[in-house]
């Protein structure tokens, strides 16, 4: 969603708080390779 969230090393996990709706995640490795995915986050009640 056009906001830098941080980096990970070895274990590539990161907890985020998301609003309900569509989001876009882009990951970039140390070689500059990129991958982008769009997903829908639904809130639990």
pLDDT of residue 5: 83
Q: In the chain, which ranges are E strands?
A: 21-28, 34-41
Pair 26, 35: CB distance under 8 Å:
yes
pLDDT of residue 35: 95
pLDDT of residue 38: 97
pLDDT of residue 7: 84
The pLDDT tens digits of the residues spanning 1-45 come to 788 888 888 888 888 888 999 999 999 988 999 999 999 999 887
The first and second tokens of residue 9, run together, are: 């090393």
Look up the pTM and report it: 0.69
């Amino acid at each position: 969603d056009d906001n830098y969230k941080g980096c990970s090393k070895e274990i590539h996990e990161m907890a985020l708080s998301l609003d309900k709706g569509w989001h876009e995640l882009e990951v970039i490795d140390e070689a500059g390779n990129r991958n982008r995915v769009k997903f829908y986050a639904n809130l639990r009640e």
